[in-house]
Each structure stands twice: as structure tokens, then as C-alpha cells.
Amino acid sequence: MQEVGTLSYRFLQTFIASTIETDGPLVLGRLGVRTGGSVITENSNKFSSYYDHLVELSKDRSLWADEDAAPSSESVATARCVLQQLEEVDMPPSKVVATVDSGVAICFVRDARYADIEATSTGEVLGVLSDSINRPTVWEFKPYQSEIAQTIARIRKFIEPDPSGKDDSGAAGSGRLVSSISSVVQAV
């Protein structure tokens, strides 16, 4: 994926990371207004719990994958950017969790399909697709708005397959193989 003209990523991370500890309202462009740990937007009923949970991941040791490793401010800032774009396209995740490398994973699950976007503590951002049968598909992308949007579209296509039966989801052999195995299991 290629940068299409955006703000410096480091500037964006610093700006967003600084909003996590702010007590007063903060305007977040067209996305909404942050007040005391949540963001008020059109989708705030669906997404406020995710933003609140992201703040909790930074503070609550019981939510960390490793009790000694809180999610880094960099991974939380990146995850917040991803959540904002998910909110714009009305695609709530199944779960938001801390990872063992002090990162944050935004997870999607539907039937035998799993996908996530992982913001690592080192600044890398990964997309993952798995149909629970084939080897997972993993790719790295830059945390630019255009690349996050492309990754979200790829995950949506994978998680919400074409109802016509055409499966061009991005994971090798997914969908048809799961359907075939289900048919065999039901026949037995």
C-alpha cells in the first residue's frame, strides 16, 4: 500500500495519545467530541464502549495479556485511529484486547472466520485473516488513513462474504472449503 498524502504519522500518534489523558472536551475533527474517555458521534451508542475499553486497556492490569506489559501509548493511539475509521463505516468489532507485545488487537469473528487489526508497540500495524482451516493471511500496512481504510474493506469482505456464493475474500480457499466440510459433517 502506498501513502496518498496524509499528516505525519508521528504527529498524529502524539496528538491522539495526548487526547487519552485529557479531562475536558476535545474536538476530533468530523468524528465527534471526546468527553471524559468517550467520543460523542452519530454511532456513539455502538462505539462508545470500544473507546472506553481502549482507555481501560491502558490502565487496568487485569486486561493486559502480560501483567507487566501495558499496551503502549503508540499502540493505543493507532487502535483509536482504527476505531474511528471503523465507526465511520459502521463496522463494530467483536472485541478489543491487549496483546502480549504491549499492543492492541481489534478483532472480528463470524462463524469460522476470524480477522483482526493489530497495532504493535513498535509501530507496526498488521492485518490478519483466518478461516480456521487454512494458514492465516497476515500483512503489514502503514497506519495511514488510506491504508487503514483498505484493510477495513478487506476484512469486511472476508468477514461478510458475498451472499451470492462467490467467495473472493482474500484468504486462500476460505468459504467454499468451510461449506464443503460442513456438508460432509452434516451428511455423516
pLDDT at 33: 40
Is 51 part of a structural domain of the chain?
Answer: yes
Q: Which residue has the cell 460442513?
A: 182
pLDDT at 44: 57
Is 188 part of a structural domain of the chain?
Answer: no
Is 89 part of a structural domain of the chain?
Answer: yes
Is 2 part of a structural domain of the chain?
Answer: no
pLDDT at 22: 37
pLDDT at 74: 95
pLDDT at 66: 82
Does an H or E element contain 117, and which? Answer: strand 113-119
pLDDT at 26: 35
Residue 125 CB partners (closer than 8 Å, separation 6+): 78, 82, 117, 118, 119, 140, 141, 142, 143, 148
What Rg, from alpha-carbon coordinates, does the chain have?
18
d(CA 155, CA 177): 19
Is 115 part of a structural domain of the chain?
Answer: yes
Is 102 part of a structural domain of the chain?
Answer: yes
Using the Cα atoms of residue 89, residue 5, residue 154 and residue 72 in order, give the sign of their dihedral. negative
Is 18 part of a structural domain of the chain?
Answer: yes
d(CA 57, CA 66): 12
Cβ-contact 70, 117 below 8 angstroms: no
d(CA 17, CA 49): 18
Is 126 part of a structural domain of the chain?
Answer: yes
Domain that holds residue 107: 9-181
**Full pLDDT tens readout for the chain, 188 residues:** 433 333 333 433 343 344 333 333 333 333 344 444 444 444 457 899 999 999 999 999 999 988 778 999 999 999 999 999 999 999 999 999 999 999 999 999 999 999 999 999 999 999 999 998 999 999 999 999 999 999 999 999 999 977 776 655 445 443 333 333 333 333 33
pLDDT at 166: 62
How many domains is the chain built from?
1
Cβ-contact 39, 28 below 8 angstroms: yes
Question: Which of 148, 146, 149 minimizes the C-alpha distance to 5?
Answer: 146
